[in-house]
Amino acid sequence: MKKKIVVAICGASGSIYGIRLLKALLNMPTEVFLSVSAAGKKVMVHETAYTGGSPEAFLKSEGIVPHPEARLRVYEPDDLFAPPASGSFRHHGMIIAPCSMKTLGAIAAGIADDLIHRAADVCLKERRPLVLLTRETPLSLIHLENMQKAVRAGATIMPPCPGFYTRPRTLADIVDGTVTRALDQLGIETDLIRRWGDKDLV
C-alpha cells in the first residue's frame, strides 16, 4: 500500500518544520493528509512567505514539485468527516510539526474537538505512530506532565532540538536533521542528511 501520512501544522513557532516535512513527503510516492490549525496559519504568515491562501498554492510557490505519484489532500480543522478522523481509515502514522502546547494538552487529555486532535486520538487508540514536534521553551511542569501522558499513551515526543555532529552549515541543514529523524519514526527513509557512520562524517 502506498504510504499514507497524516500531517498537521499547529500554532507554535517552527512552521518551517511542517513545510519542510511536506516537501520531503511529496518528493516521494506518498499520499499526505494535511490539516493546518487557524493559529498555525497565522504563524505561517508571520514566519514564512505564506499569505493566507491555500496551502497547495503556497507549496507550489515554494518550488515544491510533487512526485508523479504523490498526492496532497488538505482538510480544515473543523472537518470531522475527513478520513483521518476515523479509526477505520488506514494510514501509516501522523506527525504534528510544530505541535503547540495547546495541542499537546488536548491530546494528553483525550480531547478530540477538532480534526487534528481527533486524528491524533485515533493514532493512539489504533496503536499507530504519532510524532509530536513539541515547540516551547522553557517547559513548565504542566508541559512535562502532558508529554509524559502522551508518551504513556503511545506518542513519540520529539522537540526539534538539532544535533550538530552532522556539521550543519545552514538553517536548512538544521531543519533537515529534525525532519529526517521525525520521518525515521514512521519508517520513511530520506537522503536529506549525512548519518552517523557515513564515511565522510566519522
Residue 102 assigned to a binding site: yes
Residue 94 assigned to a binding site: no
Residue 51 assigned to a binding site: no
Residue 13 assigned to a binding site: yes
Residue 103 assigned to a binding site: yes
Residue 100 assigned to a binding site: yes
Residue 165 assigned to a binding site: yes
Residue 75 assigned to a binding site: no
Residue 101 assigned to a binding site: yes
3-state secondary structure the chain: CCEEEEEEECCCCCHHHHHHHHHHHHCCCEEEEEEECHHHHHHHHHHCCCCCCCHHHHHHHCCCCCCCCCEEEECCCCCCCCHHHCCCCCCCCEEEEEECHHHHHHHHHCCCCCHHHHHHHHHHHCCCCEEEEECCCCCCHHHHHHHHHHHHHCCEECCCCCCCCCCCCCHHHHHHHHHHHHHHCCCCCCCCCCCCCCCCCC
Instruction: Pick out the residues of the known binding site for dimethylallyl phosphate.
Output: 165, 181
Instruction: Pick out the residues of the known binding site.
Output: 11-13, 37, 100-103, 135, 165, 181
Instruction: Pick out the residues of the known binding site for FMN.
Output: 11-13, 37, 100-103, 135
